[in-house]
Copies of this chain bind each other. A is one copy, B any other.
Amino acid sequence: MKNQLYFQLKNNHRQEKAFEAIEKEQHHIGYYALPDQDISPILEYCNTISNSIETIAVIGIGGSSLGAKAIYEFIKPTQKNLKKLYFFESTDPINITTLLSKIDLQKTHFLVISKSGTTVETFAIYKYIYSLQNNPKHYTFITDPNSPLEKYAHEIHASVLHLPPNVGGRFSVLSSVGLVPLALSGIDIQMLLNGAKMIKTSFFKEGYIKDILLKKAVFYAKNHAQYHINCIFAYSETLKFFCEWYVQLWGESLGKKQRHSAFNVGLTPIGLIGPKDQHSFLQLIMDGTRDKSVTFIQIDDFQDSITIPDIDLPHLSSLNVLNHLPFSELINMQCNSVLEALKDQKDIPLDSITIPRVDEYNIGSLIFYYELLTSLVGELIDVNAYDQPGVEAGKIILKKKLENS
Is A123 an interface residue when CB atoms closer than 8 A count as contact?
Answer: yes
Is A208 an interface residue when CB atoms closer than 8 A count as contact?
Answer: no
Residues A93 and B152 in contact in the complex (CB < 8 Å), given A120-B319, A127-B311, A391-B282: no
Residues A322 and B402 in contact in the complex (CB < 8 Å), given A248-B279, A281-B248, A315-B155: yes
Chain A, range 305-320, C-beta contacts under 8 Å to B:
305-306, 308-309, 311, 313-316, 318-319
Residue in B91, B95, B236, B292 whose beta carbon sits within 8 Å of that of A77 in the complex: B95
B152 touches A314 (CB 8 A): yes
Is A181 an interface residue when CB atoms closer than 8 A count as contact?
Answer: no
Would you give the shortest CB distance from A354 to chain B, in whole angstroms? 15
A247 touches B281 (CB 8 A): yes
Residue in B281, B292, B304 whose beta carbon sits within 8 Å of that of A252 in the complex: B281
> Which chain B residues border A13 with CB–CB below 8 Å?
none
A128 touches B309 (CB 8 A): yes
Stretch in A1-9, A15-23, A331-339 touching the partner: A331-339
Is A349 an interface residue when CB atoms closer than 8 A count as contact?
Answer: no
- Contact residue range for chain A? 35 or more
Residue in B77, B244, B284 whose beta carbon sits within 8 Å of that of A98 in the complex: B77
Residue in B156, B306, B393 whose beta carbon sits within 8 Å of that of A341 in the complex: B393
Residue in B156, B328, B337, B403 whose beta carbon sits within 8 Å of that of A397 in the complex: B337
B391 touches A283 (CB 8 A): yes
Q: Whole-angstrom distance between the alpha carbons of A268 and B284 in the complex?
A: 8
Residue in B255, B265, B285, B286 whose beta carbon sits within 8 Å of that of A283 in the complex: B255
A 91-130 binary contact with B (CB < 8 Å = 1; else 0)? 1111111100000000000000000011011011001101
Is A394 an interface residue when CB atoms closer than 8 A count as contact?
Answer: yes
> Which chain B residues border A93 with CB–CB below 8 Å?
302, 304-306, 326-328, 331
Residue in B257, B280, B399 whose beta carbon sits within 8 Å of that of A287 in the complex: B257
> Which chain B residues border A290 with CB–CB below 8 Å?
264
Q: Whole-angstrom distance between the alpha carbons of A268 and B268 in the complex?
A: 10
| Candidate in A282, A329, A338 with the most chain B CB atoms within 10 angstroms | A282
A 228-270 binary contact with B (CB < 8 Å = 1; else 0)? 1100000111100000100110011011110000001110101
Stretch in A24-32, A58-66, A194-202 touching the partner: A58-66
Is A41 an interface residue when CB atoms closer than 8 A count as contact?
Answer: no
Would you give the shortest CB distance from A287 to chain B, in whole angstroms? 4
Q: Whole-angstrom distance between the alpha carbons of A319 and B333 in the complex?
A: 53
B398 touches A283 (CB 8 A): no
Is A188 an interface residue when CB atoms closer than 8 A count as contact?
Answer: no
Is A358 an interface residue when CB atoms closer than 8 A count as contact?
Answer: yes
Residues A228 and B289 in contact in the complex (CB < 8 Å), given A123-B319, A315-B148, A401-B336: yes
Would you give the shortest CB distance from A228 to chain B, in whole angstroms? 6
Q: Can you list 13 A-B contacts with CB-CB less than 8 angstroms, sorted by A residue number?
A: A62-B276, A97-B304, A123-B319, A228-B289, A251-B280, A251-B283, A252-B284, A254-B284, A256-B287, A268-B268, A279-B391, A282-B394, A287-B389
